[in-house]
Amino acid sequence: MQLSWVLDLPMPYVFAALEHDEQPSLRLSTEIINIDPEAVSIGMAVQVVFKQQEEIYLPLFEPQER
């Protein structure tokens, strides 16, 4: 059974800790979108996508286009 930790957060979602290639000590907690959760893997290349939530833009990530 899957339970959402935020009631209105659509499931499934992939929570991830990203590490920046050019600054390995920089890590960012985010969500990976536009991919089947089973297809996400450690070390995969991603690109930023900004999603507007009211007055702010959230940085989310999706698989990098090749």
CA dist 48 → 9, 11, 33, 44, 65 (Å): 20, 20, 10, 13, 11
Rounded Cα–Cα distance for residues 10 and 46 (Å): 21
Residue 54 carries which side chain, given as an amino acid letter? E
- Return the sign of the alpha-carbon dihedral for residues 61, 29, 18, 5: negative
For the question of whether the overall pTM of this predicted structure is more than 0.95, the answer is: no
Confidence of residue 64 (pLDDT cuts 50, 70, 90): very high
User: In the predicted model, is pLDDT for residue 4 greater than 80?
Assistant: no
CB 50 within 8 A of CB 57: yes
Q: What confidence tens digit (pLDDT) does each residue in 11-63 have?
A: 777 888 898 888 988 898 888 999 999 999 998 999 999 999 889 998 999 99
Please indicate whether residue 11 or residue 1 has the higher confidence score (pLDDT).
Answer: 11
